[in-house]
Amino acid sequence: MDLRHLRYFVAVAGTGHMTRAAAQLGIQQPPLSQQIKALENELGMALFHRHPKGVSLTDGGHLFHAEAQRILADVEAMTQRMARVARGVQGVLAVGFTSSAAAHDFTPETLRECRHRFPEIELVLSENNAADITEAVAAKRRGAVAVEDLHDEPVVLVRRPGAPGLYANLLALCARRDVVPRVVAEVDRMMTNLNLVAAGVGLSVVPASMQGAHPHAIVYRPLARPARLDAPLTLAYRPLDGNGPAATFVALVRELATLRRRAP
């Protein structure tokens, strides 16, 4: 099942007619009917009552219609948020200023105008001297991020509470260094995590292999040494699969993993 199936289903439910829905979607009626039938087969239930004048929703179809509309609305909202992030009108912006700049009437005027014009930009304000501000800007642009920098920062985690792995190790590392991040969201999937980061919800720690997602909305920085967090690749298999292709594949994975660990 994909979003296309949901859009097809909602169109048919809205028009009550396969042919009219096909015209609305810009496709032929037979393929649309086939897609709806395939969706029903996948769900294991009929979504529509077929009759000579069109179709009407079954009880299960009504329930599925509400869920489909919710999912499509969420996807549309996320798409719009990502577009706003890409245009630079949503997200988090850190602004540092000196004492003299804070005393100038131009500074509060600019901040007020920014909040007025771009209410979806969250301004994080701080005051410091010019040298420290300049160094901080340069460090955020080029440098690594220390674990201590995560203290009291909003952080998104990909994990289930209590589960082991990268994010449990991250929290343990923070605890050892008396660093207390603010966990603002815990999600099940890495791409959901990156979508939230791109939308300005918070920071996160991801494996190096994930760099590149939302390149215009996310800045990727390495963790400063000596901090190190491993993001292992995990192979799950049943111990009873001691023979056959599964056993062959497990042995191959172990062999290649051993060679990689020994490589310089």
- Over residues 100-125, the pLDDT tens digits come to 888 888 888 888 888 888 888 888 88
CA distance 255 to 253: 5
Q: For residue 127, list its beta bridge partners.
A: 97
Fold (topology level) of 88-142: D-Maltodextrin-Binding Protein; domain 2 (3.40.190)
pTM over 0.85: no
pLDDT single digits (tens) 165-180: 788 888 888 999 999 9
Check residues 261 and 138 and name the one with the higher pLDDT.
261
The CATH code belonging to domain 3-84 is: 1.10.10.10
Length of the chain: 264
The CATH code belonging to domain 147-210 is: 3.40.190.10
CA separation, residue 156 to residues 12, 150, 213 (Å) = 38, 11, 16
Nearest CA to 207 out of 238, 176, 168, 166 is that of 166
CA separation, residue 187 to residues 160, 190, 214, 234 (Å) = 8, 8, 18, 19
**Encoding tokens for residue 73?**
């609305």
pLDDT single digits (tens) 36-94: 999 999 999 999 999 988 999 999 999 999 999 999 999 898 888 888 777 777 777 77
